[in-house]
């Protein structure tokens, strides 16, 4: 064979092989170390897939974004991730790329362009869309490549991501490394599709199938694809055919594969084939290749040796990186005193809560071009299901206010990815009930990104959700108060305003916060509450409760629309000579236990009220804290009042009885006074 027939420049082929042997050296070292008991961590081998990232490394730079999966250690090596930092991370050491907090399945290394590694199958593409949005909006020529296996093509977010990318013509490559196995299951037993690249055509953009084991063919195919995407021609789906020769997890051969099929795959393995090609074509000598291989082995051995000496990440790091500010973490016995907002100077205007929410977004978008809004029907003329965004698309344009498909995972994923890239997205979820559709993106990605990356990356997005309940007619799937789902997930801040002034000021704080924040907006209050609201930019600090009514006999603690029921109950109690202090929590995480406890010290009694189901609700947590901290000072145990343990009924009569109203609160207070 002569060099002219290679179909690829000899120097490029040599460089590809150099990356392949680095990947192979990492693979061998890990498998040897695990087998010998030298170290212990979960490993998902990519043996046989080395050519794919090795080739891509010759066509991209650190400026280009990459998202990959827990099996993507080969992608990390080729992307330029520091090997010492990578091994230290896998070993849970302080010197790890992410301080040992994410491990190999969660590497983030912005310096190399390795932005997100997800351990959730199929979750990466929706986040990668957000990275691509940021590049497109900033006029950058970055390409985003999201890697996933063939098994991920069966999961919904992959389809959602492809659909959104096609509609918005995003500069993204969906790279399916088709290794013929979905974990332990071969392709023919989980799909009837003849291929995967054809799915792109059904969604309106191009798909190609390339030989992922042939460096020349893959290089030329990917070169054209990357150039096309970089030029702004929209997304491309690449199905890279290869074969995973190892098991789903662990070491050794793929024991699920038939022996003859595995033997044939080994004959086509890219490392060995490329080595022979370099020798046969006269590009390299045996000594030259041996030197390249020895250098790779030495590099890996040195990285592992240094990683093994790095200290184990200590327990003192436990609460660091949950939030940007560790004092926001709810911690037993530690109740920070946060300064409340002062008087807001300047002009005001009469606003409903809905108008105040719109105004907050208007102020934020005018101040910062990196703030944008996305969600279902958020554009004009509708302005969202409840009109909380009216006029914003007309004022700021369709790129700043983006109507999306009905696709909650794609919405939240895009918001996460763009926020990781430094933008400040506001994602609207039409009803809080629909959180269940995209809970993976909220709880496993937005909430955990800062922690898993050791603050190398973070996701400063805002998620707005409308909340039903006690209105009647919405039924069981549009009326749930699900704040306890969110407060139980470390890494998410949760706000629940009760009036227009707080709605605007807290939303502006959320948009400018360094952490993911969910703002829950009560549908009942959107148009029933009016107030004089400052017209400019002002902030309500997070984690600061407010005394809405002073009292001496009992403290009523609530938030959202139930706060108004508590105020109404306090009026009724006053007629009986009972003085109730009413506290609006406003912020559920971080929570202002200091002001709550100071109030209950004064009154000696507490009733926590929420519209969410009482069983396992936030009220139980607050009552427990009050009872623990003030035991011996209370006149009666703190008690809670929430909704009955049943789905919200369509029948208005049932719903009004199962969600606490003023009369039920009065009754509960009376019970407390009898204790």
C-alpha 436/C-alpha 408 separation (Å) is 9
Are 356 and 479 found together in one domain?
Answer: yes
Q: How many CA atoms lie within 13 A of 518 on its CB side?
A: 32
What is the domain-level CATH number for residue 591? 3.40.50.920
Q: Name the percent of the chain lying above pLDDT 90.
A: 96
> Which residue, of 504, 534, 564, is where some domain finishes?
534
Tokens 């209050």 correspond to 525
Instruction: State mean pLDDT over 104-127.
Output: 97
Is residue 95 located within the same domain as residue 218? yes
Domain-located, residue 565: yes
Tokens 């000696």 sit at which residue?
A: 604
Q: Euclidean distance between the first and final Cα of the chain, in Å?
A: 94
pLDDT (0 to 100) of residue 4: 53
Tokens found for residue 591: 């929570």
Give residues with Cβ within 8 angstroms of 315, minimum separation 6. Answer: none
Full strand arrangement of the beta sheet holding 236-241? 114-118, 65-69, 144-149, 172-178, 236-241, 206-211
* Total number of domains in the chain: 3
Same domain assignment for residues 581 and 465: no
Q: Encoding tokens for residue 370? A: 């990196």
> Considering 474, 505, 534, which residue would you say is the last residue of a domain?
534
User: How crowded is residue 349: how many other Cβ atoms within 10 Å of its Cβ?
Assistant: 12
DSSP letter for each residue of 602-659: HHS-EEEEEEEESTT-HHHHHHHHHHHHSTTT-SS--EEEEE-SSPPPSSHHHHHHHS
Tokens of 452: 């898993």
Q: Is residue 596 part of a domain?
A: yes
Range of the domain at 225: 11-270+285-310
Residues 302 and 433 in one domain: no
Instruction: Identify whether residues 296 and 393 lie together within a single domain.
Output: no
315 found inside a domain: no
609 within a domain of the structure (yes/no) = yes
C-beta of residue 51 within 8 angstroms of C-beta of residue 270 = yes
CB atoms within 10 A of CB 285: 11
Question: Distance between CA atoms of 28 and 41, rounded to whole angstroms?
Answer: 15
SS3 345: coil
As a whole number of angstroms, the distance between CA 109 and CA 590 comes to 29
Q: Do residues 295 and 376 both lie within one domain? A: no
How large is the average pLDDT for residues 45-72?
98
| Boundary residue ending a domain (478, 506, 534) | 534
Please check whether residue 165 is in contact with residue 174, taking contact to mean a CB–CB distance below 8 angstroms.
Answer: yes
478 is catalytic: yes
Could you tell me if 304 and 354 lie in one domain? no
Whether 540 maps to a domain, the answer reads no
Distances (CA, A) of 463 to 5, 6, 446, 585, 642: 55, 52, 10, 19, 25
Query: What pLDDT digit, counting tens, does each position of 591-610 carry?
Result: 999 999 999 999 999 999 99
434-458 average pLDDT score: 97
Whether residues 259 and 408 share a domain: the answer is no
Convert the pLDDT of each residue in 538-576 to its tens digit: 999 999 999 999 999 999 999 999 999 999 999 999 999
Q: What is the pLDDT of residues 365-421, one digit of tens each?
A: 999 999 999 999 999 999 999 999 999 999 999 999 999 999 999 999 999 999 999
Q: What is the pLDDT of residues 145-204, one digit of tens each?
A: 999 999 999 999 999 999 999 999 999 999 999 999 999 999 999 999 999 999 999 999
pLDDT digits (tens, 9 = 90+) for 342-373: 999 899 999 999 999 999 999 999 999 999 99
Sheet of strand 554-558: strand arrangement: 546-549, 580-584, 554-558, 606-613, 639-643
Average pLDDT of the chain is 96
How far apart, in whole angstroms, are the C-alpha atoms of residue 326 and residue 330? 9
Domain with residue 456: its CATH number is 3.40.50.970
Q: In the 3-class helix/strand/coil scheme, how is 462-498 assigned residue by residue? A: EEEEEECCCCCCCCCCCCCCCHHHHHCCCCCEEECCC
Tell me whether residue 421 is in a domain. yes
Residue 300 lies in a domain: yes
| pLDDT confidence bin for 472, thresholds 50/70/90 | confident
* Separation of alpha carbons 590 and 631, rounded Å: 23
Question: Are 550 and 514 contained in the same domain?
Answer: no
- Buried-state track 485-506, b at ≥16 Cβ within 10 A, e below 16: bbbebebbbbbbbbbbbbbbbb
Q: Give the pLDDT confidence score for residue 86 in this predicted structure.
A: 98
Q: Are residues 564 and 523 in the same domain?
A: no
Domain membership flag for residue 340: no
Say yes or no: 508 and 620 in one domain: no
Q: Same domain, yes or no, for 588 and 508?
A: no
Q: How many CA atoms lie within 13 A of 492 on its CB side?
A: 25
Q: In the structure encoding, which two tokens stand for residue 382, read together?
A: 């509708």
Catalytic residue, chosen from 159, 478, 564, 610, is 478
Asked if residues 531 and 494 have their Cβ atoms less than 8 Å apart, the reply is no
Kindly state the average pLDDT of the residues 86-113: 97
- 3-state SS class at 317: helix
pLDDT band at 473 (very low <50, low <70, confident <90, very high): confident
Strand runs labelled E in 250-388: 348-352, 371-375
User: What confidence score (pLDDT) does residue 1 get?
Assistant: 36
pLDDT bucket at 3, cuts 50 / 70 / 90: very low
- What value does the mean pLDDT take over residues 10-24? 98
For residues 47 and 642, what is the distance between their CA atoms, to the nearest angstrom?
54
Please tell me the pTM assigned to this model.
0.96
């Amino acid at each position: 064979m002569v060099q002219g027939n290679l179909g690829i420049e000899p120097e490029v082929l040599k460089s590809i092989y150099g990356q392949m042997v680095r990947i192979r050296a990492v693979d061998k070292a890990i498998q040897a170390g695990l087998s010998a008991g030298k170290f212990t961590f979960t490993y998902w081998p990519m043996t046989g897939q080395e050519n794919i990232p090795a080739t891509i490394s010759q066509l991209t730079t650190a400026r280009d974004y990459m998202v990959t999966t827990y099996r993507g250690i080969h992608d990390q090596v080729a992307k330029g991730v520091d090997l010492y930092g990578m091994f230290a991370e896998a070993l849970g050491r302080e010197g790890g790329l992410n301080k040992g907090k994410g491990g190999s399945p969660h590497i983030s290394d912005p310096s190399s362009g390795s932005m997100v590694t997800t351990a959730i199958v199929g979750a990466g593409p929706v986040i990668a869309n957000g990275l691509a949005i940021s590049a497109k909006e900033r006029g950058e020529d970055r390409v985003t490549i999201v890697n996933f296996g063939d098994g991920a093509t069966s999961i919904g977010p992959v389809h959602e991501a492809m659909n959104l990318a096609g509609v918005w013509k995003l500069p993204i490559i969906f790279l399916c490394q088709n290794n013929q196995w979905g974990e332990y299951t071969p392709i023919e037993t989980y799909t009837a599709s003849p291929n995967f690249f054809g799915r792109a055509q059904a969604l309106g953009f191009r798909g190609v199938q390339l030989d992922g084991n042939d460096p020349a063919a893959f290089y030329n195919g990917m070169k054209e694809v990357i150039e096309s995407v970089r030029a702004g021609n929209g997304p491309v789906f690449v199905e890279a055919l290869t074969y995973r020769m190892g098991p789903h997890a662990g070491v050794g051969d793929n024991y699920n594969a038939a022996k003859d099929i595995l033997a044939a795959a080994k004959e086509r393995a890219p490392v060995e084939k490329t080595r022979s090609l370099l020798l046969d074509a006269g590009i390299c000598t045996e000594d030259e290749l041996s030197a390249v291989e020895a250098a790779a082995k030495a590099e890996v051995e040195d990285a592992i040796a240094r990683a093994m000496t790095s200290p184990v990440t200590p327990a003192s790091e436990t609460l660091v990186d949950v939030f940007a500010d560790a004092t926001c973490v709810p911690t037993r016995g530690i109740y920070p005193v946060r300064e409340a907002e002062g008087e807001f100077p300047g002009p005001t205007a009469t606003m409903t809560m809905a108008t105040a929410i719109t105004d907050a977004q208007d102020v934020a978008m005018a101040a910062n071009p990196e703030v944008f809004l996305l969600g279902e029907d958020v554009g004009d003329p509708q302005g969202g299901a409840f009109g909380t965004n009216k006029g914003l698309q007309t004022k700021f344009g369709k790129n700043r206010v983006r109507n999306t498909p009905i696709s909650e995972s794609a919405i939240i994923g895009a918001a996460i990815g763009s926020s990781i890239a430094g933008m400040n997205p506001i994602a609207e979820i039409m009803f809080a009930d629909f959180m269940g559709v995209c809970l993976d993106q909220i709880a496993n990605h937005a909430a955990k990104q800062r922690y898993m990356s050791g603050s190398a990356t973070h996701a400063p997005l805002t998620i707005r959700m409308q909340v039903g309940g006690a209105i009647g007619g919405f039924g069981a799937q549009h009326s749930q108060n699900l704040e306890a789902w969110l407060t139980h997930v470390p890494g998410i801040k949760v706000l629940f305003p009760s009036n227009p002034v707080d709605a605007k000021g807290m939303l502006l704080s959320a948009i400018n916060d360094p952490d993911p924040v969910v703002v829950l907006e009560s549908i009942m209050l959107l148009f029933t509450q009016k107030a004089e609201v400052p017209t400019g930019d002002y902030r309500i600090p997070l984690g600061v409760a407010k005394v809405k009514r002073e009292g001496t006999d009992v403290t009523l603690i609530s938030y959202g629309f139930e706060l108004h029921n508590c105020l109404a109950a306090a009026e009724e109690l006053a007629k009986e000579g009972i003085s109730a202090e009413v506290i609006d929590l406003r912020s559920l995480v971080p929570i202002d236990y200091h002001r709550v406890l100071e109030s209950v010290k004064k009154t000696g009694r507490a009733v926590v009220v929420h519209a969410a189901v009482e069983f396992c609700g936030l009220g139980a947590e607050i009552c427990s804290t009050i009872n623990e901290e003030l035991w011996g000072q209370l006149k009666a145990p703190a008690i809670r009042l929430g909704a009955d343990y049943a789905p919200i009924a369509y029948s208005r009569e049932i719903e009004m009885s199962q969600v606490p109203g003023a009369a039920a609160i009065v009754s509960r207070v009376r019970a407390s006074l009898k204790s």
